[in-house]
Amino acid sequence: MRRDRIFIDGGWDEPTGGAPFPLPDPATEASVAEAPEGSRADMERAIDAARRAFDAGPWRKTTPRDRARVLEALADRVEARKEAFRDLLVRTVGATALTHPVQLDAAIDHLRAYAEIAGELELDEVLPERAERGRVVSSIAHRQPAGVCGLIPTWNFPLYVTVQKIGPAIAAGCTMVVKPSPFAPLADLVLADAVEECDVPRGVYNVVCGRSPELGVALTESPAVDKISFTGSVVTGRAIARAAADTLKRVHLELGGKSAAIVLEDADVDASIAALASPAYFHAGQGCALATRVLVPRHLHEEVVEKLAAFVRAFVRMGAPSDPKTTLGPLVREERRAAVEAVIASGVEEGATLVTGGRRPPELPRGFFLEPTIFANVDNGMRVAREEIFGPVLCVVPYDGVEHAIAIANDSRYGLSGVIVTRDPDKAIDIAKRLRTGGVSINYANHAAVTPFGGFKESGIGREGGRFGIFEMTEVQRISWRS
Backbone angles phi, psi at 428, to 5 degrees: -65, -35
Composition of the chain by helix, strand, coil, percent to 5: 40, 20, 35
Identity of the amino acid at 53? A
Instruction: Give yes or no: residues 363 and 241 share one domain.
Output: no
Encode 186-202: b = buried (16+ Cβ within 10 Å), e = exposed: bbbbbbbebbeebebbb
**Catalytic residue, candidates 288, 387, 388, 458:** 288
For 20-58, what is each residue's pLDDT tens digit? 999 999 999 999 999 999 999 999 999 999 999 999 999
Contact 263, 269 (CB under 8 A): yes
- Provide the pLDDT confidence category of residue 483 given band limits of 50, 70 and 90: confident
Instruction: Give yes or no: residues 180 and 277 share one domain.
Output: no
For 344-402, what is each residue's pLDDT tens digit? 999 999 999 999 999 999 999 999 999 999 999 999 999 999 999 999 999 999 999 99
In a domain? residue 454:
no
CATH number at residue 399: 3.40.309.10
Distance, CA of 75 to chain centre = 19
Instruction: Give yes or no: residues 18 and 39 share one domain.
Output: yes
Q: What is the reported pLDDT for 454? A: 97
Alpha-carbon gap, residue 309 to 126, rounded angstroms: 57
Alpha-carbon gap, residue 441 to 417, rounded angstroms: 8
Q: What is the reported pLDDT for 199? A: 87
Model pTM score: 0.96
- Provide the pLDDT confidence category of residue 79 given band limits of 50, 70 and 90: very high
Bridge partners of 294? 261, 396
Q: What is the reported pLDDT for 277? A: 98
**Strand pairing report for 373-376 and 393-399:** parallel
Alpha-carbon gap, residue 13 to 210, rounded angstroms: 14
**Catalytic residue, candidates 254, 371, 387, 458:** 254
Query: Which residues, in sequence order, are CB contacts of 38 under 8 Å at separation 6+?
Result: 6, 15, 16, 17, 208, 209, 210, 212, 215
Q: What is the reported pLDDT for 179? A: 98
3-state secondary structure (DSSP) of residue 395:
strand
Alpha-carbon gap, residue 78 to 70, rounded angstroms: 12
Instruction: Give yes or no: residues 413 and 440 share one domain.
Output: yes
In a domain? residue 1:
no
The answer to whether 254 is a known catalytic residue is: yes
Instruction: Give yes or no: residues 435 and 472 share one domain.
Output: no
Between residues 446 and 64, which one has the greater pLDDT? 64
Written as one string, the DSSP assignment of 4-47 is --EEETTEEE--SS-SPEEEE-TTT--EEEEE----HHHHHHHH
Q: What is the reported pLDDT for 57? A: 93
Q: Is the pLDDT of residue 448 over 90?
A: no
Instruction: Give yes or no: residues 471 and 442 share one domain.
Output: no
Alpha-carbon gap, residue 36 to 48, rounded angstroms: 20
Distance, CA of 288 to chain centre = 7
CATH number at residue 220: 3.40.605.10
Bridge partners of 460? 254
Element (H, E) at 123: none
Instruction: Give yes or no: residues 99 and 166 share one domain.
Output: yes
For 345-354, what is each residue's pLDDT tens digit? 999 999 999 9
Instruction: Give yes or no: residues 223 and 265 share one domain.
Output: no
Instruction: Give yes or no: residues 121 and 205 share one domain.
Output: yes
For 87-126, what is each residue's pLDDT tens digit? 999 999 999 999 999 999 999 999 999 999 999 999 999 9
Instruction: Give yes or no: residues 206 and 308 share one domain.
Output: no
Q: Is the pLDDT of residue 134 over 90?
A: no
Q: If you average pLDDT over every residue of the chain, what do you get?
A: 97
**Percent of all residues in the chain with a pLDDT value above 90, rounded to a whole number:** 97
Instruction: Give yes or no: residues 314 and 419 share one domain.
Output: yes
In a domain? residue 453:
no
Q: What is the reported pLDDT for 235? A: 96
Alpha-carbon gap, residue 64 to 42, rounded angstroms: 30
Instruction: Give yes or no: residues 43 and 121 share one domain.
Output: yes
Where in the sequence is the domain holding 79, given as residue range(s)?
6-255+460-482
User: What is the number of structural domains in the chain?
Assistant: 2
The answer to whether 288 is a known catalytic residue is: yes
Q: Comparing C-alpha atoms, which of 210, 288, 275 is closest to residue 454?
A: 288
In a domain? residue 455:
no
Q: What is the reported pLDDT for 1? A: 85
In a domain? residue 34:
yes
Written as one string, the DSSP assignment of 448-465 is PTTS-B--EETTEES-BS
Q: Is the pLDDT of residue 447 over 80?
A: no
